[in-house]
């Protein structure tokens, strides 16, 4: 009984911290319609600043806390809203997620640059003081956390629902111009909301700090657990958000209690599965909360955006493919073994991003679990495949059969992921796929049953004899990229590709015309996952050894960032963006030093902020500018399959001004 009460108190305290962080998310979303993916990163940076001033510089606590919570964090929130978030209120979900993900990785890069990895800790408030309730002791830190959470929830509820300022803050998201005509100051109100949200993120991070190690990713993504609580409140209701946060905190701690109560032999025999399920409870809670949300109605509206890049002709596609193959052959012939290995690994990133072109660029669905599909493909190559009782299968090796098996298996996994995703759109599908990626890390990749083993474990991947050298395997990666690019372009040119783009623009219109939007979305998820699985096989062979850390769910964020910045709507965009990201990761042509990576992430965030109104990315922008300089005009219309010339207007992407079907 004592253990139950102890874990209950700890769960309520943890839930109270999540409630504070989730309240900041709800506040900013309700007043701007922008989900701040970097909310946890803001709390992480402010927590490191708290350590710097309080522990490293020795400043008194009574000065440090007001300085951070009342000055530094609010000012940061105001600057963030003024320079970045204000432009996202009318942007599409993909752009909004890309910018906030860019801010997240930029803040992590900034923290890593300023505070090098080292052992850091901070004392809890009024350390050593506690109150006993029988055999259970409650510390002063725990009392303070619960009291602050209740005060924040009540204060924000009164602010948003019982004051003129709160009503005006909620009205900002609906129509800034109309609100201004009534005498309000929408820019000031929006800035106030983001200042409060930033302060709440900082407060949550500071309250979590005494019980955690000062790790950039841990601090960032423990606050991310608050996303689940925010989803319970549908990003609108503060009371439901508070209740969801407490429920999440209790679930995590009851899960820990159950885990330590299990027989040691049972836990050991599970080969890491029980441990993985216990660690996945927050993400399972997040996914469950979103799946229980009411399903969105089909929506119609007006498309207001920019055009997708033109589809290159077959002749241009052939010439560019030949140029890429010839260039890669010449480059690999002039380099040694080490550089050929780095070049091949760098080229695996564009191969992975090709699957994002199909899913995000053409389908409009955001996926943050693409590396998990890559990991499944790598597992096929690393562990082999065996069908029980049939004698069919193959030993671990890179073969045509392993490529086919990886494609089919990951396509099935993609279809399974798509089934719950059918209820989700936009922001929710991004968070849902991130939750799935985190759960797969713990329950598949980190287990010994079907995965790589405990975190940090690796498996060797043998190559076939004719691809034994680094140069030959690197060229195999380039050839596969060309073949997969042709497949993606063929899909874009096909009838299915036109249906896919139409579904992206208006599901209601497609449903009215008799097209199955459900089947279309399942098919694109499945095909995208299959392509990612093929990339996983080649990545495993190129690296020789693969393990759990190669497919950690956090790495999906910079992958998405590079794809969006350089252009996820075109093959050339992901080729340049993926290769640049690969060069940073492997040290090919660029230094792999942490300083260079961190600076690159910061520069990328600035770049994506400038590309808010250009969903075709940096490469698309360069192509557009080059056409203007050369006064290039394409006057040849596309032709139908019957050969008759027709005028075909390029697909349009961008912000959708939507209203539910049947509404006035």
pLDDT band at 611 (very low <50, low <70, confident <90, very high): low
Joined together, the tokens standing for residue 492 give 């874009």
Lowest average pLDDT, out of 254-263, 383-392, 558-567, 610-619, goes to 383-392
Question: Quick check: 657 pLDDT over 60?
Answer: no
Joined together, the tokens standing for residue 401 give 């059969």
Joined together, the tokens standing for residue 592 give 């792999």
Longest CA pairwise span in the chain (Å): 87
* Closest among 213, 204, 281 to 21, alpha carbons compared: 204
Q: Is 131 helix (H, G, I), strand (E, B) or coil?
A: strand
Q: According to the model, what pLDDT value does residue 656 have?
A: 43
Q: According to the model, what pLDDT value does residue 623 have?
A: 76
* Closest among 417, 356, 425, 368 to 557, alpha carbons compared: 368
142 in Cβ contact with 125 (< 8 Å): no
* Closest among 464, 465, 446 to 379, alpha carbons compared: 446
* Integer Cα distance of 153 and 255 in angstroms: 26
396 in Cβ contact with 462 (< 8 Å): yes
* Closest among 318, 354, 363, 385 to 539, alpha carbons compared: 354
Burial bucket for residue 429 (CB in 10 Å: 0-12, 13-18, 19+): buried
- Tokens 């962080």: give the residue: 21
**Over the stretch 466-511, which tens digit does the pLDDT of each residue have?**
788 899 999 999 999 999 999 999 998 888 888 888 877 766 677 6
Mean pLDDT of the chain: 80
pLDDT band at 181 (very low <50, low <70, confident <90, very high): low
**3-class SS string, 175-240:** CHHHHHHCCCCHHHHHHHHHHHHHHHHHHHHHHHHHHCCCCHHHHHHHHHCHHHHHHHCCCCCHHH
pLDDT band at 270 (very low <50, low <70, confident <90, very high): confident
Domain 2-261: which CATH class?
A: mainly alpha
Give CA angle at 96 (92, 98), nearest 5°. Answer: 120
CB within 8 Å of 450: residues ≥ 6 apart: 379, 383, 444
Mean pLDDT across the stretch 121-129?
A: 81
pLDDT band at 652 (very low <50, low <70, confident <90, very high): very low
Higher pLDDT, 285 or 625: 285
Tell me the domain boundaries of the chain.
2-261, 315-553
CB within 8 Å of 444: residues ≥ 6 apart: 276, 375, 376, 450, 451
* Closest among 516, 395, 549, 392 to 461, alpha carbons compared: 395
Joined together, the tokens standing for residue 156 give 């924000």
């Amino acid at each position: 009984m004592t253990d139950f009460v102890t874990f209950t108190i700890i769960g309520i305290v943890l839930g109270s911290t999540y409630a504070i962080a989730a309240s900041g998310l709800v506040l900013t979303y309700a007043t701007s319609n922008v989900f701040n993916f970097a909310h946890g990163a803001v709390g992480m940076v402010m927590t490191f600043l708290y350590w710097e001033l309080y522990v490293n510089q020795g400043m008194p606590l009574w000065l440090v806390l007001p300085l951070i919570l009342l000055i530094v964090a609010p000012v940061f929130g105001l600057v963030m809203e003024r320079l970045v978030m204000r432009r996202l209120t009318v942007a599409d979900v993909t752009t909004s997620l890309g910018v906030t993900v860019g801010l997240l990785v930029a803040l992590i890069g900034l923290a890593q640059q300023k505070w090098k990895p080292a052992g850091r800790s901070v004392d809890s408030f009024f350390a050593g003081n506690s109150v006993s309730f029988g055999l259970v002791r409650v510390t002063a830190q725990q009392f303070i956390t619960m009291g602050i959470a209740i005060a924040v929830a009540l204060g924000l509820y009164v602010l948003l629902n019982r004051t003129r300022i709160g009503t005006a803050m909620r009205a900002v998201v609906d129509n800034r111009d109309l609100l201004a005509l009534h005498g309000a100051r929408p820019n000031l109100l929006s800035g106030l909301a983001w200042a409060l949200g930033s302060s709440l993120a900082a407060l949550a991070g500071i309250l979590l700090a005494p019980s955690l190690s000062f790790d950039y990713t841990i601090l960032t993504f423990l606050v991310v657990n608050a996303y689940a609580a925010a989803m319970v409140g549908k990003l609108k209701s503060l009371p439901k958000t508070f209740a969801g946060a407490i429920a999440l905190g209790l679930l995590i701690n009851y899960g820990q209690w159950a885990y330590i109560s299990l027989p040691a032999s049972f836990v050991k025999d599970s080969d890491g599965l029980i441990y993985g399920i216990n660690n996945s409870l927050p993400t399972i809670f997040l996914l469950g909360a979103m799946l229980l949300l009411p399903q969105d109605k089909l929506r119609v509206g007006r498309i207001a955006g920019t055009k997708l890049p033109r589809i290159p002709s077959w002749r241009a596609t052939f010439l560019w493919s030949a140029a890429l193959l010839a260039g890669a052959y010449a480059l690999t012939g002039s380099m040694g073994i080490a550089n050929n290995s780095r070049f091949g690994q760098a080229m695996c990133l564009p191969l992975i991003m090709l699957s994002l072109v199909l899913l995000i660029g053409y389908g409009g669905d955001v996926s943050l679990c693409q590396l998990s599909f890559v990991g499944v493909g790598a597992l096929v190559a690393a562990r082999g495949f065996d069908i029980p009782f049939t004698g069919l299968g193959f030993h671990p090796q890179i073969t045509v059969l392993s490529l086919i098996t990886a494609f089919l298996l990951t396509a099935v996994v993609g279809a399974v992921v798509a089934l719950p995703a059918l209820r989700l759109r936009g922001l929710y599908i991004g968070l849902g796929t991130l939750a799935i990626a985190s759960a797969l890390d713990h329950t598949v990749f980190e287990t010994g049953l079907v995965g790589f083993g405990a975190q940090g474990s690796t498996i060797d991947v043998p190559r076939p004899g004719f691809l034994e050298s680094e140069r030959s395997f690197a060229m195999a990666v380039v050839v596969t990229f060309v073949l997969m690019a042709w497949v993606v372009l063929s899909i874009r040119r096909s009838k299915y590709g036109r249906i896919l783009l139409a579904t992206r623009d208006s599901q209601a219109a497609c449903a009215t015309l008799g097209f199955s939007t459900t089947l279309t979305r399942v098919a694109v998820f499945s095909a995208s996952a299959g392509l990612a699985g093929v990339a996983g096989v080649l990545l495993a062979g190129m690296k020789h050894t693969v393990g759990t850390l190669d497919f950690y769910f956090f790495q999906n964020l910079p992958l998405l960032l590079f794809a969006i910045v350089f252009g996820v709507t075109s093959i050339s965009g992901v080729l340049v963006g993926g290769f640049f990201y690969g060069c940073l990761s492997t040290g090919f042509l660029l230094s792999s030093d942490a300083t260079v990576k961190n600076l690159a992430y910061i520069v990328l965030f600035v770049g994506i902020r400038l590309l808010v109104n250009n969903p075709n990315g940096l490469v698309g922008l360069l192509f557009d500018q080059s056409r203007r300089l050369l006064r290039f005009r394409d006057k040849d219309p596309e032709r139908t399959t019957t050969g008759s010339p027709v005028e075909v207007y390029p697909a349009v992407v961008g912000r959708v001004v939507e209203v539910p079907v049947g509404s006035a």
